[in-house]
Amino acid sequence: MTDSIGDPAVRAFVDALNAGDRTAFRAALTADATMSDDGTDRDLAEWTEREIFASQGHLEVATAADDGREFVADYSNSTWGAMRTRWTFTVRDGKVARFETGQA
């Protein structure tokens, strides 16, 4: 359901995540991008490597709002299995400057 994501920066983020493309994923982020997981700020590089790339992370958007800058998705990876998650994005200059995720 990535068609429901109108914001090109968020769409690039989701497409890169689902493709397992580290280079495209980094290109979708600002140089100073930050993130949080379940309300706690995390080291973005460490978290994305562990929770997305090393564990074959994949998300399927279920519902989206705010042009795709907020959505609920079914997220799965080889570490945790599948879970319902919420995602919100702050976009600056056409790139993701911050994302927040957690269980929905």
Spatial CB neighbours of 37, under 8 Å, sequence gap ≥ 6? 47, 51, 100, 101, 102
As a whole number of angstroms, the distance between CA 50 and CA 39 comes to 18
Burial class (CB in 10 A: 0-12, 13-18, 19+), 89: buried
Element containing residue 52 per DSSP (H, E): none
Task: Tell me if the pTM is above 0.85.
Answer: yes
Model pLDDT for residues 31-84, shown as the tens digit of each residue: 999 999 999 999 999 999 999 999 999 999 999 999 999 999 999 999 999 999
Strand pairing class (58-65; 70-77): antiparallel
Order of strands across the sheet that contains 40-42: 40-42, 29-37, 95-103, 81-92, 70-77, 58-65
Q: Which fold has domain 2-103?
A: Nuclear Transport Factor 2; Chain: A, (3.10.450)
Give the whole-angstrom CA distance, residue 8 versus residue 87.
Answer: 16
Place 2 in a pLDDT band, splitting at 50, 70 and 90: low
